[in-house]
Each structure stands twice: as structure tokens, then as C-alpha cells.
Chains A and B, each alone.
Chain A
């Protein structure tokens, strides 16, 4: 399908390129009128007539541009009409193979970029077919340089996230940044009385249904010149829902002394409403794409590449196991902290900030569409597809709001503090934790402390990054219902001799932790995770 769309877009683009080779020829404008009922979708257009001489013969043409379809912006046709005044000289482009065919202006070659959109689907589909069906040589794939493989993956990831960021920025600029810039500029525009010529609800049909926009044509005098405009506000695009739009249109029809705001530097530019409108919020949607792209690029670049073999070795050894490596060569200088205060893996405040941010972001976007759904029901023309489509998104948004309140309550929970002795525990030896719980300990019904060992692996699945976890060791060290035993205590525990030590690489980890859980009735439970370091067996003791 992607190839099919590409083919048709390419055919059309070929014609556009062809017109760029037509011969430039002087012409004389005979007439140029503005039509204000050209098409339902694009009501404004110019109707221009001009004549020119080619190879000794005189021809007349009325074609402005190849594939010209009018516009919904009156200001645009007004500018065109002022360029093509009757009896003035201009330039047209004549088809040398068919001299009775000419145009006044070229279609932009930037339209060729639309071929990139179906190209994405062609690449994805073609790439999927290729990688599914290609035969791999087992001998050649047995051993592949891991460094080059990691480098290729990194490049692909960077390209992927760059496309996301570029698409997001490319849509954000016209949908939000430019309208906001115009709103700010319009604060200095001059208030000017105007007269309403026509006010109507313009419909736009597409495969997804019909949307509507406000089309109010008005005229005004500025510096003794009469101008016309149909700009209502600075938002672009159209939306479903008609009641609010109809109310605005009716109010302008009845308004006895309407005013508009005119750009004093370009008096042909004017606007009726220069305020920020709710429709502008839709322009923030591409921000999600931009954010995903930028965050993806940031984390991909931050992920360190194996630079050189020697530095790779140094990096591995510095990852908390340097003590052990040193002990291999000089056990008398082995550094191991006698005891350390453990830190919880994630604080309640960080969790609260995180979920609050996502709740605001998610519900901010969902609210725009929810607004349209409510508008549809209010004007008696509900969009059922959009309503049903929004249900899961709204439910997720409600869940996030509940989550925010949950984590606010969790802030008031009692907080456990743990000390581990020794600070790092070699396999086959024993450690001891001592704890103190500050806060509302009396609300805890049951307290358990567990030693947990688990595998954690990260991998990509399509465009998502997933992390799977599997517990291979889970032993309860302490459990009590007695409040007096919860405030403070200590307990020793062994690390089995036949288990695996702590391990951390970019995508694969073996993590040992002390988990403190406290059941609290009708309140968020305590669930704190404290990572500890389990070292390889101390070989100097065995020797």
C-alpha cells in the first residue's frame, strides 16, 4: 500500500516538476477577480485572465497554478489579487510542447516531501520482508564483533528518535509556535471598526468525518484603504462540535459595532479575536513526539559505547567490584566498608513527582479530545466513534489521578532506616542489618524484612524498551505483628556459598536487596527496596 501511495504521489510530483521547465514568457493581465464561493472546503480563489505571445501567436489563459484549489484564507487571495492588477505586466510559464497551456505561478517543489510519508511504510514493510526471508550464513554469524553490533544498534536508535523529534517539531511549529507568536504580536495591533460581510460555518470533509471552522468575512478601513479579511483567530485547522462555533457566528451577525485588530505594518492583515483559545491546546500534541524523540536521543547518547578494549576493562572493574579485584593481588589492602547506611531505591517524593507529571501530561492531552466529545453531546450531534475511542484513555487518566492521591498519602508513612554490616558481603559469609523505623509505626499491622536476589534484563520490543525481572532467591529474615518490635532491631543472615554475586552491566543485572514491607489498613502500604552488594567469594581467605 505504501508503494502504491508513493507511486501516485510521484506521478503527480512529476507533473509539478515538468511545469518548472516551461518557458518564462511576458504576459498582460486582463482581469483578476476574487471568488468567494469557489468550493465548500476552500471558498476563496482568484479568477484571473491573461494573454501572452509565443512563437508569434497570441494566446489567452485563465490558469493561475497547476492543481490550484483555492484557499480558506481570504488574506491569501487578497494578496494575489493585488499582485495581478488588470492591464499590468507579469510573467507566465508556457508549455513549449503545447503553447496554449500556461500558468502564472509554479506549485512548490516542497510538495514532493509528501512522498516521505508513505516511504516510511515502504521501508518498514520492505525491511521486515527482507530480514524475515534472508538466509543467514551460520559460519559467518557465529562470532560477530560485539562492538560493531552495539554501534549499529546505537545508530539505528538515534535515527529512529531523530525522526520522532523532527516530525514533532515540524508539526509543533505551525500548530502552536507560530500561532502563539502571532497572538503575542497582535497585542500591538490597532483596534479598528469593521463591517461583517458574511458569517458562516465552514465544513471540512475527510475519511474520519466532518469538522468545522468559523468563516467570517469582514471589511475595514485603514489609512484610507479598504481591506477585507476572514481571519477569526490565530488557531489553524478545524474541529468537530458546532454549538460553540454557531454561537460565535450568530453573535457576530447580530453585533452592531464589531471591531477587528489590524497589523499596522501590514494593514491587509487583521484578526477578530486575538485571544488565546482552547483550540490552541491541540497544537501541543506534537510536543509528545518531540519529547519522546529528544529523551530517546539523550539516553542513547548518554549510554556509553565501549571506546577501547583497555578502557572497557577499566570500566567493568570500576563498577563496584574494584575492591575484589584489588584483593586478588593484595589482600592486606582490601577496602571494604565496615558498615553502610542503606538508601531506598526510590523515594516517595520522586514517585509522587513522576506520577504527577505523567498525570498532568496525559490528562492535558486527553482533555482536549474530551472537550470535543462533550461539545458533541451538548449540541445534540455526538461523535460516537470518538466517544468510544476515548473511554480507555479517560480511564487511564482517572487511574493516574487516583495514583497521585495514593502517593500523597504514602508521603506520611513511617520510614525505615537500615544499616548493613559489613557494607559489602562476600558470598558464603554472613551479614547483619539493623533497622529503625521513624514515624507512625503504630499504624503498621505487620512488618516483614526479606532478603531478595533477582535477575533484571532490559531489551527492545519493537519501539518499546522492556525490563523483565525474575527472583531466584527470596528468604524472609524477620516478621512481626508486635509494634514494640517494629521500632528498632537487628538480624543476621547468611549469603549462600553456591549463589551468584551482584552484577551490573548496561542491560543485564543481578541485584540483591533487602525489602521492607509494612501492611497498613486503609492506607498505602510500606514497600521499600534497599539494594546491597554481594561480592564474589573472598579467595584470599581460601588460599
Chain B
């Protein structure tokens, strides 16, 4: 059975723009992976067709089947996490094995107030 997880330091999930996000990516796989990638991305949700933007992408070099690796990412200024009536913008960390065979996502919030901007 495969297990993937992302642990953020101090279990923090709310961040302000420009803040540094530190954490650890862990994986436990049945086979040796060809690639392990950690993405910081935003995506839209709602009535419109989904858009995705990858702000940062880190190749985790160690390809053991079971391991963990720390990471540190400086968060960008924008876009803010947002919740409206037609669309939402959500930030997440995504751990990807073999370019999409398996995936684990951990959502975070990015905004000056630490909470998503709401215009409902």
C-alpha cells in the first residue's frame, strides 16, 4: 500500500504573502519511484473551467521507495486565497510520484489576513 504525506511545520496552514513555508514530504511506496516532485500551486474551483498555476516546483532528488525530505518555500505575493460566488482560488502543496501516478495534496491559505478573501 502506498502512503504519501506533507507535514507543514507547526501544522500551520494560514500564511501571508512573502512568508516562508517549511515542512517535510514523506512517502512510502511499493516500488522505486522514477520521480518525486513537490509543487506549490493554486487552482480555481467553481462554475468556470478549472485553471491551474504552479508557483514553484521542487524535484525531490532521493528516489528511495520509503523516505522523507524537508523543504522550504518562499510564498509569492498573489493570488490571494479567495472565495466568491462564481469562483474560488485555492492554494495547495502537491506531492507527485512519477509525474501523476500518485498524488497527495495539502491545502493552505495565502492572504494578508491569513484567511481567504470572501466576497459572497
Which A residues are CB-close (under 8 A) to B86? 455-457, 468-470
Nearest-Cβ distance from residue A475 to partner chain B, whole angstroms: 14
Which B residues are CB-close (under 8 A) to A315? 53
* Cβ of A132 under 8 Å from chain B: no
A542 to B87, CA, bound (A): 28
A306 to B42, CA, bound (A): 14
Nearest-Cβ distance from residue B60 to partner chain A, whole angstroms: 14
* Cβ of A148 under 8 Å from chain B: yes
Select the stretch in B26-34, B61-69, B112-120 that faces chain A: B112-120
Is A143's CB under 8 angstroms from B51's CB? Answer: no
Is B85's CB under 8 angstroms from A470's CB? Answer: yes
Given contacts A316-B53, A316-B55, A457-B86, contact A468 B47 (CB under 8 A): yes
Is B112's CB under 8 angstroms from A145's CB? Answer: no
Closest to B94 in A: A143
Is A501's CB under 8 angstroms from B79's CB? Answer: yes
Is B79's CB under 8 angstroms from A503's CB? Answer: yes
Q: Which of A142, A148, A536, A539 contacts B100 (CB 8 A)?
A: A148
A537 to B78, CA, bound (A): 9
A153 to B76, CA, bound (A): 29
Nearest-Cβ distance from residue A183 to partner chain B, whole angstroms: 46
Is B53's CB under 8 angstroms from A505's CB? Answer: yes
Interface of A is mostly: mixed
* Cβ of A506 under 8 Å from chain B: yes
A414 to B85, CA, bound (A): 36
Given contacts A328-B18, A500-B119, A536-B78, contact A306 B39 (CB under 8 A): no
Nearest-Cβ distance from residue A150 to partner chain B, whole angstroms: 8
A506 to B50, CA, bound (A): 9
Is B104's CB under 8 angstroms from A459's CB? Answer: no
* Cβ of A7 under 8 Å from chain B: no
Closest to B119 in A: A472
Q: Mark B78-120, 1 if CB is under 8 A from A, else 0.
A: 1110101111010000101001100111000000110001010
Q: Which of A312, A324, A457, A498 contacts B53 (CB 8 A)?
A: A312
Query: Which residues of B are interface residues toward A (Cβ below 8 A)?
Result: 16-18, 37, 39, 43-44, 46-57, 76-80, 82, 84-87, 89, 94, 96, 99-100, 103-105, 112-113, 117, 119
Query: Which residues of A are interface residues toward B (Cβ below 8 A)?
Result: 142-150, 153, 306, 309-310, 312-313, 315-317, 321, 324-325, 327-328, 427, 453, 455-460, 468-470, 472-473, 498-501, 503, 505-508, 510, 536-537, 539, 542
- Give 5 A-B pairs besides A313-B53, A316-B54, A503-B78 with Cβ atoms closer than 8 angstroms: A316-B53, A324-B77, A325-B77, A501-B79, A507-B51
Can you list 14 pairs linking A and B with CB atoms under 8 Å apart?
A143-B94, A145-B103, A148-B100, A150-B52, A306-B52, A306-B54, A309-B39, A312-B53, A312-B54, A427-B112, A455-B87, A468-B47, A498-B113, A508-B48
